[in-house]
Amino acid sequence: MRKAIIIILLTLAVLTACNRGYEATDEATVTEETPIDEQIEIIRDLGGREIRIAAAWPYLPFATRGIAPNPATSRNYVLDRALYEQIQLSSMQYNIILTALHIDHNNIMPTLETSVAAGAPFADMVLLAEEMVLPAITGNLIYAMEEFTTQSDFFGTEGFPRASSEFMGVHWTIAPHAMEFNGMFLGVNLDIVRSIREENPVSLYENGYWTYQSFMEIMQAAVDAGYYGISGVPSDIISNLVAANNGIFVNPDFTVAYNNPHTLAAFETARNIFAGDFWLPNQGYHNFHGNLLAFMDGQSLFFPLSVWVVREVDIPFPFTVVPFPEGNMGDGSYSFMKGFDMGLAIPRGTPNPADVLTVFESISILAEERDRVYIAGSFRTERDATRAMGILREQGKFDISMSIPQFHWMYGIMAQEFSSGSWNTRTTVDRLLRPQQEVLDGALGLWYTIARN
């Protein structure tokens, strides 16, 4: 059997140069040996089993046999080719057929529910979006990882693959990436910073002065100069301010935590932003995609960002990134609120789930290099990429409510009431407590009853 052995030495600087064009300090070295005839060593014979990995986007675009990367269209052909070779090699080493299934985002949960109920899961692994993980758990649709593996390194915080989505003492998914991508940081329009002649927020952050107070002051300077202080989805702004003040949305007994003093203080800061006309309002309070990209017109100093937005959108002005500012009651530990990560789940009824995990581990050898390519290609400088990854890796604060879309959508209503100026923070919070508790109870269902009793 013929095999091409590809040896890849990739550095972050090189990957960045390939993707965004900032200067590289080393060169990538690719060595391809002359193909030789050899017998592939079978590590474990799974009898030609087909292992299907389903996702709404090309998570493993080269998994299906015979679909190799195209050098004319690949963003990084060297790495894509190496991923392809590794998948083909693993398929032979375990005697499997690996198939990537594409399924529409809106069809994932209905298909998972009906196929599991029928005893024939449509895939062996399913990439669940953040908001799908909780209903998959409460609906008893997926295995807990502890049900079929006890590998200590799999349950650590480093290495790959690793377990993710911890809830009720066990883990329910496998992290789809070697690096942490789930979370947000704050984009900074550098043209506006220069225009208003204020200190770069990166300098404030690096020198320990990036706080609610400095954040509000620099936004005021932007507003005074005819700009907006911030744009973005109201729920992103509010939830991350709460995280940066070490607040919470849900108490350990699964009651809504809006009376937590850290949370209330962060809500008051949010009220000052929306009532004080700092926020760019031209997309309304409930237009997710419009608010997500409202910063593109260059009129807002700050804007919440995630890696995938930076990667997919060509931002038309110079920008940098910082964490959300430390709150008056915060300690710098957190800067964004997060729910469950997007994760690979193994549906209940999947035969021998431990074998599925073993195969996934085999095809993931190059995961860290793949993720470095993705990150390096998302930012204009290596410093920005490093800072962003540090924020995402170290400053996320988990709250179960962030995995319940109906719960954090309510912050659009909160922002609207703050903007009107007719409601104070206490009144708005009291009005939302009961409906938010009902949303929480409904999402947790049986798990809520078990936890409370």
> What single-letter DSSP state applies at residue 144?
-
Please give the radius of gyration of the chain, using alpha carbons only, rounded to the nearest integer. 24
Q: What is the pLDDT of residue 34?
A: 34
Give me the amino acid identity at 422: S
195's CB contacts (< 8 A; 6+ apart) are: 225, 227
CB 317 within 8 A of CB 191: yes
Please give the full DSSP string across 97-141, using - where no structure is assigned: EEEEEE--GGGHHHHHHHHHHTT--S-SEEEE-HHHHHHHHHTT-
Q: What is the pLDDT of residue 7?
A: 38
CATH topology of domain 185-339+399-452: D-Maltodextrin-Binding Protein; domain 2 (3.40.190)
* The two domains 2-175+340-384 and 185-339+399-452 share their CATH topology (first three levels equal): yes
CB 416 within 8 A of CB 271: no
Taking the chain (453 residues) in runs of 10, the rounded mean pLDDT of each run is 36 37 33 45 91 88 72 82 87 91 95 97 95 92 90 66 85 81 91 96 96 97 97 96 98 94 97 94 89 96 93 93 96 94 93 92 79 78 91 91 90 91 87 94 70 48
CB 162 within 8 A of CB 154: yes
State the architecture of 2-175+340-384 in CATH terms: 3-Layer(aba) Sandwich (3.40)
Q: Cα 364–370–372 angle (5° rounding)?
A: 130
CB 429 within 8 A of CB 256: no
CB 230 within 8 A of CB 237: yes
d(CA 137, CA 140): 5
> What is the value of pTM for the model shown?
0.84
d(CA 36, CA 319): 49
For 424, the token pair is 């104070």
Q: What is the pLDDT of residue 38?
A: 54
CA dihedral (157, 158, 162, 166) in degrees, to 10, reads 10
114's CB contacts (< 8 A; 6+ apart) are: none
| Sign of the four-CA dihedral 348, 350, 351, 357 | negative
How far from chain centre, in Å, is Cα 15?
21
d(CA 135, CA 286): 24
How far from chain centre, in Å, is Cα 198?
31
Q: What is the pLDDT of residue 178?
A: 65
Please give the full DSSP string across 372-387, using - where no structure is assigned: HHHHHTT-SSHHHHHH
Q: What is the pLDDT of residue 74?
A: 80
Q: What is the pLDDT of residue 372?
A: 76
Q: Where are the domains of the chain?
A: 2-175+340-384, 185-339+399-452
